C-alpha cells in the first residue's frame, strides 16, 4: 500500500506504473544496487581495518573512536544536503557528485598517517556515500512501477548490508597480503569505476525531467522506452503534453521545505524522524556492542563473535525477505511487525539467556527485525513524499536519524563504564524498538487511503 500523494493522478506516473519491467529498468536497478553495495562497503570499512592500523601506528584501538564516528557525522550532513541537491539539480547529478566525493575520500584515507587526517578523510567518505543514499532511493522509486515499487526499493537499499558482508570477507586476506591501505584503495577504485558506468548508463529521473521542463526530448524517449508504448499512444502523449508548472512555481516547489509538512505529513514527518533516530540507534548500538555485551554476560568470546555474525546474517536475510513482503503488504504495518519482533527479541536476549542456541537465534532475530526495518523505512519514507521533495524528505530523515547512530555507541560505552548490568542494557534497547513500533502504528492511522 502506497500513500496517496499529489502525484496520484499524474499522467506520467500512470504511464510508469503501468509499464512492464524491461531491460532499461533492470539496468537502472542493478547500477543502483551496485552503488548501495559499495556504499555499505565503504561506510563499514574502517571497523575491519582498525586492528591493523592500530598496530601499524602503535596506538590503542580505543584512540580510533572519533575516526569511527566521523564517517557517521559525514553521512548526516551528506544525506541532508544531497537530498536538497537531488530535488534542485536532479537525482542523477547529485548521486554522481556525492558518489565520486565518497570514492575520493576513501582513496585519500589510504594516504593517512595520523588520526586527524584519518578523521577528516572518513568525514569526506561519509559525506559522499551518505549523500548518494537518498538519491538512489528517489531514482528507484520514480522508475519502478507501483506494483513492484516497494519490493525494488527495499531490495536495492538492502544491498548495503551485502557490501558490509563483502568487506568482512576480503578484509583479512587482503590486509595480510597488501596492508590496510589496500582496503581503502579498493573502496575508492570500485566506486569510481561504477561511477563511470553510471555516468554513461544511468538516466535522470523521467519525472524530474518532465516536472522541471529540462531535456524534453530525452524525457520523451525515456518514457517511451520504459513503457514500451508507441510514440503516438494516447496515454504517452497525455503524459508528455501535460502542462508544466511555471518557472516560479517550479522554483517554489523545489525550494519550499514546507511540503514536507503539508497535510497528513504535518504529523507523519516528525514521526518518521523519530523512527529514523530509533532505528539507526538500534542498528549501530548492536553492531558496535553486541560482541562485548555477550562476552560480558558470560558467553565465550567465540560464541559472542558467532552470535554477532548471525546478527549481520539476519540483517541480510531480513533485507531479502522484507523486500519480498514489501510488495504484498502495507509497508507501515510490515514495519510495525519488524519493530515488534526486535522488541521481543531484545527483551528475551536481556533476560539472562544462558543457552548458546537461544543466543544465536535471538541475535539473528534482532538483526532480521532491526536492520530489516531500516531497509523498509527508507522505502516507506520515499513513498510518502511528492516528486518535488522526495530526495529531500528521505535525505532529511536519514540525516536526522544519524543522531541515533552517532550517539548510541557512545551511550553504550557510558552505560558499561557506569556499571550497569549487561542484561539491563540489552533490555533497555527494547524501549526504542517499542517506540518505533508505536510510531508506525500511529502513521498507519494517519495514512490517507490510496486513490484508485
pLDDT in tens, 401-442: 888 888 887 787 778 778 888 888 888 989 999 999 999 999
Predicted local confidence at residue 155, as pLDDT: 84
Say if residue 118's pLDDT is above 60: yes
More reliable by pLDDT, 293 or 301: 293
Q: Which three cell numbers stand for residue 388?
A: 518535488
Q: Please report which confidence band the pLDDT of residue 1 belongs to, taking 50, 70 and 90 as the band edges.
A: very low
Predicted local confidence at residue 99, as pLDDT: 93
What is the average pLDDT score of the chain? 82
User: What phi and psi values does residue 211 have, to the nearest 5 degrees?
Assistant: -65, -30
Predicted local confidence at residue 450, as pLDDT: 55
Would the CATH topology of 1-255 be identical to that of 257-452? yes
Domain ranges across the chain: 1-255, 257-452
Q: What is the rounded average pLDDT of the residues 284-305?
A: 78
Say if pTM beats, i.e. exceeds, 0.85.
Answer: no
**What pLDDT, in 10s, does the model give residues 326-343?**
777 788 888 999 999 999
- Closest by alpha carbon to 384, among 369, 376, 434, 28? 376
Predicted local confidence at residue 243, as pLDDT: 53
Predicted local confidence at residue 338, as pLDDT: 93
More reliable by pLDDT, 450 or 380: 380
Say if residue 249's pLDDT is above 70: no
Helix 356-384 × helix 115-143 angle, to 10°? 60
Residues 6+ apart with CB under 8 A from 183: 45, 48, 49, 167, 170, 171, 174, 175
Task: Check: CB of residue 166 under 8 Å from CB of residue 41.
Answer: yes
Question: Which of 157-161, 225-229, 442-446 shows the lowest mean pLDDT across its residues?
Answer: 225-229
Predicted local confidence at residue 130, as pLDDT: 87
Range of 180-194, 236-250, 298-312, 381-395 with top mean pLDDT: 180-194
More reliable by pLDDT, 227 or 384: 384
Say if residue 148's pLDDT is above 90: no
Q: Please report which confidence band the pLDDT of residue 7 belongs to, taking 50, 70 and 90 as the band edges.
A: very low
Question: Which of 47-51, 66-70, 226-230 shows the lowest mean pLDDT across its residues?
Answer: 226-230
Architecture label for domain 257-452: Up-down Bundle (1.20)
**Which letter, b or e, does each residue of 163-192 get, where b requires 16 or more Cβ atoms within 10 Å of its Cβ?**
bbbbbbeebeebbeeeebbbbbbbbbebbb
Question: Which of 60-74, 175-189, 395-409 shows the lowest mean pLDDT across its residues?
Answer: 60-74
Say if residue 251's pLDDT is above 50: no
Length of the chain: 452
Say if residue 2's pLDDT is above 60: no
The full 3-state SS of the chain, as one line of letters, equals CCCCCCCCCCHHHHHHHCCCCCHHHHHHHHHHHHHHHHHHHHHCHHHHHHHHHHHHHCCCHHHHHHHHHHHHHHHHHHHHHHHHHHHHHCHHHHHHHHHHHHHHHHHHHCCCCCHHHHHHHHHHHHHHHHHHHHHHHHHHHHHCCHHHHHHHHHHHHHHHHHHHHHHHHHHHHHHHHHCCHHHHHHHHHHHHHHHHHHHHHCCCCHHHHHHHCCCHHHHHHHHHHHHCCCCCCHHHHHHHHCCCCCHHHHHHHHHCHHHHHCCCHHHHHHHHHHHHHHHHHHHHHHHHHHHHHHHHCCCCHHHHHHHHHHHHHHHHHHHHHHHHHHCCCCHHHHHHHHHHHHHHHHHHHCCCCCCHHHHHHHHHHHHHHHHHHHHHHHHHHHHHCCHHHHHHHHHHHHHHHHHHHHHHHHHHHHHHHCCCCHHHHHHHCHHHHHHHHHHHHHHHHHCCCCCC
Q: What is the rounded average pLDDT of the residues 73-98?
A: 88
Say if residue 295's pLDDT is above 50: yes
Q: Please report which confidence band the pLDDT of residue 9 belongs to, taking 50, 70 and 90 as the band edges.
A: low
Say if residue 398's pLDDT is above 80: yes
Predicted local confidence at residue 194, as pLDDT: 95
Predicted local confidence at residue 449, as pLDDT: 65
Question: Which of 31-45, 244-258, 261-275 shows the lowest mean pLDDT across its residues?
Answer: 244-258
Has domain 1-255 been given CATH number 1.20.1250.20?
A: yes
Predicted local confidence at residue 408, as pLDDT: 80
Predicted local confidence at residue 331, as pLDDT: 83
Predicted local confidence at residue 346, as pLDDT: 93
Say if residue 55's pLDDT is above 80: yes
More reliable by pLDDT, 255 or 9: 9
Q: What is the rounded average pLDDT of the residues 260-284?
A: 90
Q: Is the dihedral of CA 419, 422, 428, 433 positive or negative?
A: positive
More reliable by pLDDT, 246 or 109: 109
Predicted local confidence at residue 236, as pLDDT: 59
Amino acid at each position: 500500500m502506497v500513500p496517496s500523494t499529489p502525484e496520484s493522478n499524474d499522467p506520467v506516473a500512470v504511464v510508469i506504473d503501468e509499464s512492464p519491467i524491461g531491460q532499461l529498468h533492470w539496468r537502472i536497478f542493478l547500477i543502483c544496487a551496485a552503488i548501495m553495495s559499495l556504499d555499505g562497503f565503504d561506510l563499514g570499512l574502517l571497523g575491519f581495518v582498525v586492528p591493523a592500523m592500530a598496530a601499524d601506528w602503535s596506538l590503542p584501538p580505543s584512540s580510533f573512536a572519533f575516526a569511527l564516528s566521523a564517517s557517521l557525522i559525514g553521512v548526516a550532513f551528506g544525506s541532508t544536503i544531497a537530498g536538497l541537491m537531488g530535488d534542485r539539480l536532479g537525482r542523477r547529478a547529485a548521486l554522481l557528485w556525492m558518489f565520486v566525493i565518497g570514492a575520493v575520500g576513501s582513496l585519500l584515507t589510504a594516504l593517512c598517517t595520523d588520526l586527524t587526517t584519518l578523521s577528516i578523510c572518513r568525514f569526506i567518505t561519509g559525506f559522499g556515500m551518505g549523500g548518494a543514499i537518498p538519491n538512489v532511493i528517489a531514482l528507484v522509486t520514480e522508475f519502478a512501477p507501483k506494483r513492484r515499487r516497494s519490493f525494488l526499493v527495499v531490495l536495492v537499499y538492502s544491498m548495503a548490508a551485502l557490501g558490509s558482508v563483502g568487506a568482512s570477507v576480503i578484509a583479512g586476506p587482503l590486509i595480510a597480503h597488501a596492508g590496510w591501505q589496500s582496503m581503502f584503495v579498493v573502496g575508492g577504485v570500485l566506486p569510481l569505476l561504477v561511477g563511470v558506468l553510471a555516468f554513461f548508463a544511468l538516466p535522470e529521473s523521467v519525472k524530474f525531467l518532465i516536472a522541471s521542463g529540462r531535456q524534453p526530448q530525452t524525457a520523451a524517449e525515456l518514457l517511451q522506452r520504459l513503457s514500451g508504448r508507441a510514440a503516438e499512444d494516447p496515454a504517452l502523449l497525455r503524459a508528455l503534453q501535460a502542462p508544466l508548472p511555471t518557472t516560479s512555481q517550479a522554483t517554489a516547489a523545489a525550494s519550499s521545505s514546507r511540503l514536507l509538512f503539508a497535510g497528513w505529513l504535518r504529523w507523519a514527518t516528525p514521526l518518521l524522524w523519530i523512527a529514523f533516530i530509533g532505528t539507526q540507534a538500534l542498528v549501530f548500538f548492536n553492531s558496535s556492542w553486541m560482541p562485548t555485551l555477550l562476552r560480558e554476560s558470560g558467553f565465550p568470546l567465540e560464541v559472542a563473535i558467532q552470535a554477532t555474525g548471525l546478527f549481520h546474517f539476519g540483517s541480510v536475510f531480513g533485507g531479502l525477505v522484507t523486500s519480498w513482503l514489501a510488495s504484498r503488504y502495507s509497508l507501515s504495518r510490515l514495519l510495525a511487525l519488524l519493530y515488534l519482533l526486535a522488541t521481543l527479541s531484545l527483551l528475551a536476549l536481556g533476560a539472562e539467556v544462558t543457552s548458546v542456541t537461544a543466543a544465536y537465534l535471538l541475535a539473528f532475530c534482532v538483526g532480521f527485525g532491526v536492520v530489516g526495518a531500516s531497509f523498509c523505512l527508507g522505502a516507506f519514507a520515499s513513498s510518502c513524499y511528492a516528486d518535488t521533495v522526495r530526495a529531500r524528505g528521505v535525505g532529511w530523515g536519514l540525516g536526522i536519524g544519524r543522531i541515533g547512530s552517532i550517539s548510541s555507541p557512545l551511550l553504550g560505552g557510558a552505560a558499561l563504564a557506569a556499571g550497569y548490568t549487561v542484561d539491563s542494557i540489552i533490555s533497555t534497547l527494547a524501549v526504542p524498538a517499542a517506540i518505533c513500533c508505536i510510531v508506525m502504528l500511529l502513521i498507519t492511522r494517519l495514512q490517507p487511503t490510496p486513490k484508485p
